[in-house]
Amino acid sequence: MSSEADMQKLKDLNAMTYKEQGIWFLNAYWKTGPTFADNLELAEDVWSYVHKCGELDSAKGENGCELNEFEAHRLLEQLEEALTVKDMRKVLTDADVDFNRFVSLAEFMIYKYKVDWKFLVNAAQGEQDAEKIAMATKMLEDAQAALADSETKRTEARDNERVAKQNEASAKKKEAEAVESEAAAKGAEAEAKGDEAKALRTEADAIEGEKQAKLSEAMALQSERSAQDAEKDAIHSEMEAKNAEAAAVEAEATAKTVEADAFNSETEARTAEEAAISAEKTQIDAETEVNKALAQLQREEEMFENKKNELQGISEDMNNGVVKRGKASAELAQLMSKDPLPLQRAKINQEAALRKQKRATRAAAGARAAAQLSRANAESARVKAVAAREEAEESRAAAGRRKDQAVKAREIAVAQREKTTQMRIAAEENRATAEKQRAAAEAARIEAVASREAAEAAAAAAEAARVAAEESRKAAEESRAEAEASREAAEAAVELMITKFSEAQAYLEKVKLEVNSAGKGKIWWLEREFEESKKYMSQAQLARLAAQGK
């Protein structure tokens, strides 16, 4: 019956969390077995085992109590020396005291420290000091909760104050911009009112100018009609002089026909010359392209030689690694395996093509020289025809001078008529300009009225925006004040946390001296958690905690 009771106790122990199992084990063997009191590094191992089990337990984490076979394998791999799969399975079988195919932390440590599990399940846990230990535990848990709360409040307060300051700065900037925009809008409003008054004055001046332009237009029209009558008389006299000139013009036309024929012959000769020059250029360009192709083949031949020399140098340079020299030798062999005949044959063919093209270029140059000679002969014939035409022109010029006298008289009359026409056109343009100016002034006045109305609306909107910006700035200042208050509250929470930790530390030291029972393992665990919590405190907080502890 006693064995069944002990097995049940083991199952109850196995059902506890990893932390509770670890503390039970420390209490049981504080002064016996592993003797954790004298071997605190072993107590640190238990601390590590507890947290490692929580990490490996994929189902319940730190709130779990047993590891499945796979998780127990990983625990052994990470905490023990390397084992074969067969040995590891035997270890797991030996460790599973209650034979449920799961390994608890207690079972692992029974195997690890080779202790009597029956002694473990019946070991005292400091029941006579349970109240003191529970109070120390609660004080530490309260201090840890205060630490978490203070960190949360400090983070929130810091974030809130940062955001509030940013919002306040933004609101002040927007308020300044709104004030500036309002001033600009009011300035624009005043300017628009001035523009409107100016547009009204301009419109009145334009209406008066339109009246004066219409009067000037009527006077210019009367003068133009008188000049047109004088022009008709001058035209009749001019016609008689032109008839005499016509005969001289006919003789001149005959000379010009001869000149034109000579010019056409010269043009045809020039065209032939240009065609010959173009043909010569084509042959020169073709010769250039053949030279380029030959140069390309020569470059390819040179590149082949350069690549061959480069690879040969790398493969023979003993300063290079075996891999690099081997790679260079392989590339050299591949390069040398290529057939060089196509490149050599192409070079020979290209050199032959170059010689053939040079012969074609020389033939084109001879054709161009012959065309130039033909053009020179045609040019000489055209010069003689020009001389004959110039003589006929002189005869026509004499008749023209007589006609010019009549033309001059007609031109004077035309000029007078054109002058009066220009005056009339100018008067019409002035009148049209005046009408446009009056219409433009009217449109400008309408636009100025609209601009003034828009400026008034913009000024009102800018004033409203400025008022809204002032309200936003006030709200941002209030938020910043609230954030500062939140920071002060966070500082108070930090102070409370330090006080709780100081009180918990003092009470824990007191209980540590008073407890002489098996609860020493629990006391060590609380101290270990206390030290772990200090890792989450800032240097300033640790200094304040140390100051309170003195």
167 CB-near residues (< 8 Å, 6+ apart): 476, 479, 480
Q: What is the mean pLDDT of residues 363-392?
A: 90
The predicted-structure confidence for 265-275, as pLDDT tens digits, reads as follows: 899 989 999 99
Q: What's the confidence (pLDDT) of residue 534? A: 93
d(CA 411, CA 419): 12
Q: Which residue has the higher pLDDT, 83 or 278?
A: 278
Burial tier of 489 (Cβ tally within 10 Å: 0-12, 13-18, 19+): middle
| Per-residue pLDDT at 213 exceeds 60 | yes
Find residue 67's DSSP bridge partners. Answer: 103
147 CB-near residues (< 8 Å, 6+ apart): 497, 501, 533, 536, 537
Residue 90 falls within a domain, yes or no?
Answer: yes
The CATH number of the domain where 4 resides is what? 1.10.238
Residue 479 falls within a domain, yes or no?
Answer: no
Residue 480 falls within a domain, yes or no?
Answer: no
How far does Cα 24 stand from its chain's mean position? Answer: 61
DSSP per residue over 121-150, as a string?
HH----GGGHHHHHHHHHHHHHHHHHHHHH
Verify that 105 and 248 share a domain, yes or no.
Answer: no
| Per-residue pLDDT at 85 exceeds 80 | no
Q: What's the confidence (pLDDT) of residue 290? A: 86
| Per-residue pLDDT at 82 exceeds 70 | no
The predicted-structure confidence for 397-456, as pLDDT tens digits, reads as follows: 998 999 999 899 899 989 989 998 998 999 899 899 989 999 999 999 999 989 999 998
DSSP per residue over 374-432, as a string?
HHHHHHHHHHHHHHHHHHHHHHHHHHHHHHHHHHHHHHHHHHHHHHHHHHHHHHHHHHH
Q: Token pair of 22, please?
A: 């670890």
Verify that 101 and 214 share a domain, yes or no.
Answer: no
Q: What is the mean pLDDT of residues 23-41?
A: 96
The answer to whether 430 and 254 have CB atoms below 8 angstroms apart is: no
Verify that 211 and 79 share a domain, yes or no.
Answer: no
Residue 521 falls within a domain, yes or no?
Answer: no
Verify that 353 and 237 share a domain, yes or no.
Answer: yes
466 CB-near residues (< 8 Å, 6+ apart): 175, 178, 179, 181, 182
Q: What's the confidence (pLDDT) of residue 86? A: 65
Residue 195 falls within a domain, yes or no?
Answer: no
Verify that 441 and 308 share a domain, yes or no.
Answer: yes
The predicted-structure confidence for 222-257, as pLDDT tens digits, reads as follows: 888 888 888 888 888 888 878 878 988 888 899 899
| Per-residue pLDDT at 98 exceeds 80 | no
* Residue given tokens 């600009």 in the structure block: 184
d(CA 275, CA 371): 9
How far does Cα 155 stand from its chain's mean position? Answer: 33
On average, the pLDDT of the chain sits at: 90
| Per-residue pLDDT at 319 exceeds 50 | yes
Verify that 299 and 431 share a domain, yes or no.
Answer: yes
Q: What's the confidence (pLDDT) of residue 89? A: 65
Q: Taking Cα atoms as reference points, which of 507, 489, 506, 501 lies closest to residue 542?
A: 501
Q: Taking Cα atoms as reference points, which of 28, 4, 25 lies closest to residue 16?
A: 25
The answer to whether 37 and 535 have CB atoms below 8 angstroms apart is: no
Verify that 106 and 229 share a domain, yes or no.
Answer: no
Lowest mean pLDDT among 69-83, 388-402, 521-535: 69-83
Verify that 301 and 391 share a domain, yes or no.
Answer: yes
| Per-residue pLDDT at 1 exceeds 50 | no
pTM, entire model: 0.45
Domain boundary among 391, 424, 445: 445
d(CA 407, CA 243): 13
Domain boundary among 411, 445, 479: 445
Range of the domain at 63: 1-123
Verify that 229 and 80 share a domain, yes or no.
Answer: no
Domain boundary among 445, 480, 515: 445
Number of domains in the chain: 2
| Per-residue pLDDT at 295 exceeds 80 | yes
Residue 419 falls within a domain, yes or no?
Answer: yes
Q: What's the confidence (pLDDT) of residue 87? A: 66
Q: What's the confidence (pLDDT) of residue 218? A: 87
Q: What is the mean pLDDT of residues 136-144?
A: 94
Q: What's the confidence (pLDDT) of residue 251? A: 84
Verify that 268 and 399 share a domain, yes or no.
Answer: yes
d(CA 136, CA 519): 12
Residue 19 falls within a domain, yes or no?
Answer: yes
d(CA 190, CA 452): 8
Percent above pLDDT 90 for the chain: 61
Q: Taking Cα atoms as reference points, which of 219, 35, 49 lies closest to residue 115?
A: 35
Verify that 117 and 221 share a domain, yes or no.
Answer: no
Verify that 415 and 279 share a domain, yes or no.
Answer: yes
Residue 135 falls within a domain, yes or no?
Answer: no
